[in-house]
Homo-oligomer: A and B are copies of this chain.
Amino acid sequence: MRSTLLSRRDIDFLLYEWLHVDRLVERERFADHSKETFDGVLDLCEQVATKYFAPHNKKNDANEPTFDGTTVTIIPEVKEAIDAFSRADLVGLSMDSAIGGSQLPATVSAAGFAWIQAANVGSAAYPFLTVGNANLLAAHGNAELVDTYVKPMIAGRFHGTMCLSEPQAGSSLADITTRAEPQDDGTYRIVGSKMWISGGDHELGENIVHLVLAKVVGGPVGTKGISLFVVPKYLVNADGSIGDRNDVLLAGLNHKMGYRGAVNTVLSFDGATGYLIGEENRGLTYMFHMMNEARLGVGLGATALGYTGYLKSLEYARGREQGRPVAAKDPAAAQVPIVEHPDVRRMLLAQKSYVEGALALNLYCNRLVDLQKTATTPDERASLTLLLDTLTPIAKSWPSQWCLEANSFAIQIHGGYGYTREYDVEQHYRDNRLNPIHEGTHGIQGLDLLGRKVVVQGGAGLAAIAGEVTKTVVAAGELGGEPADLATQLDSTWQRIVSVTAAMFGSGDIEAALANSSVYLEAFGHAVLAWIWLEQLVAADGKSGDFYDGKRQAGRYFYRFELPRTAPQLDLLESLDRTTLEMQDAWF
């Protein structure tokens, strides 16, 4: 039976036929691996997802974590799943073998983790945070912090969180007020309140490792004064055993529309002991190491939710008989499966183009992570970093927008049934609605893309992507036929993006240039995805069979129904439209 979580066939195509991830083993970091070990990890992730995560997805949603004032209670299946995840050595999948990781490519690790997210995005949030936390600490913490906290996280004994937001400071991290008071023993006393902390308290392991942004008293104002600390729930003794409770209190739980399985908390740091990571005032830089990884991870989660919703609605559409073709309306004839209706096929094709495109983009970005990590020259590394940085806001925002739309189509295909909790898709839709919000809202991603990423180094960010697009356009052009036609359409869209971007900043009116950055984000995102689709079609060229025909049809759908949306958006941007700037509060 085909899985309704993800398509392994598609993953294999993306990893091996398109991205040639198997060639990464030629690099020293991955030399101990082979296509067989990659396949083994993917098999394992599918099994863990199917056996331990999927079965309690609904139960976790219907029985969200509770707090009695002392203890957070979570249904037992969550701990069983997370323990199974750790037992399978999945926490340290892409971490260095020197600290107990498997040192696999991030590309393979992401493809594997997508199975877990597709199965149960709520329960997946715990290892998601632990992995991100451990990666950051391994990169920026000293040997003692690594030994004390990272290794137990890789072993599944400790779990991790990231504590950035505060009640009065969500998108604006410059305004956090949590303070860190240096102590004589080199530790810091942490005082403040943190909001939206997923996994902030629970009994799933021996300890919880909080990574906390705080301002050392007397330091610079704004983001320049932010430092990063490890603040464990329980202090750890010198021998690694669990010591006293630290002064981190659970102030309350947030009750969400979706993602209910992941406990989300308000934490109060009442003079808790914290350990500085790296240097003072460099906290935001370290945190962005995790944030960028987390943004790819959020995009992956949105994609995984979109993907499973697509497969479930496809299965439903094949089984549900309703109505007759337009050309054969005889009511005495048998009804047909709704997959036969063009409008249902439109909703399936839209989903297919969104979720397969989003997964492709995510794996492409994760391969950039791998290439960057194993780059042999600083120039090579710098150009990979530039490309990855520019793509990151798209890899976060695009799936969050369009795979949510995919989930809406999945509901629509199910009709009334899709709106009920007896089916899965309404939960996917609720869960997915978080993704345009956390790890930087859609609006923040737009400002990041337009105000920072595309314009850095005199526009090098934009040029980096445009350069990659040109390579694809050339490759598709050489194939002739349909790929060449699509390449022409893609090329013209990108030329337009380049000229519109120049016009926007050419005016010198930065306020006007940035006023419609969300529209820019959307147009840019669709243009990136069109490129990713052409990449896939080039990889599929000359190959026959249903799978490749499906890729081609989804690509056609994207170029015919989706890419043209960008034209009016780019016109608006080029006009430096001031509608939102000129709107007055009193006029609402």
Contacts and interface: CB of A to CB of B under 8 A. Distances in A.
Contacts of A516: 342, 346
A254 B580 contact: no
A568 B572 contact: no
A59 interface: no
Most buried by B among A257, A426, A446, A556: A257
A435 to B, nearest CB: 10
Contacts of A23: none
A88 B515 CA distance: 48
A588 to B, nearest CB: 5
A255 B415 contact: no
A223 to B, nearest CB: 7
B564 A572 contact: yes
A295 interface: no
Contacts of A339: 585, 588
B411 A549 contact: no
A352 B588 contact: yes
Interface stretch (A103-111, A168-176, A471-479): A168-176
Interface stretch (A90-98, A437-445, A483-491): A437-445
A260 to B, nearest CB: 10
B511 A327 contact: yes
Interface stretch (A117-125, A148-156, A228-236, A318-326): A318-326
Interface stretch (A13-21, A186-194, A416-424): A416-424
Q: Secondary structure of the A side of the interface?
A: helix
B546 A584 contact: yes
A37 interface: no
B546 A561 contact: no
A259 to B, nearest CB: 8
Interface in A291-326: 314, 318, 321-326
A415 B433 contact: no
Instruction: Report, as a range, how many residues of chain A touch the other chain.
Output: 35 or more
Contact of A323 (B171, B422, B579): B171
Interface in A320-358: 321-327, 331-332, 335, 339-346, 348-349, 352
Contact of A255 (B168, B412, B420): B420
Given A433-B411, A556-B579, A580-B342, A586 B446 contact: no
A445 to B, nearest CB: 11
A289 interface: no
A174 to B, nearest CB: 4
B433 A584 contact: no
B561 A443 contact: no
Contacts of A196: 416
A41 to B, nearest CB: 27
A349 B580 contact: yes
A219 interface: no
Interface string A243-282: 0000000000011111000000000000000000000000
Please name the 3 residue pairs, one residue from A and one from B, whose CB atoms are nearest each other, closest first. Answer: A222-B331, A564-B568, A550-B587
Given A430-B430, A561-B579, 7 more contacts: A170-B415, A256-B426, A339-B585, A342-B514, A349-B583, A549-B584, A564-B571
9 contacts: A174-B331, A175-B322, A222-B331, A255-B421, A326-B514, A340-B585, A346-B518, A349-B580, A560-B579
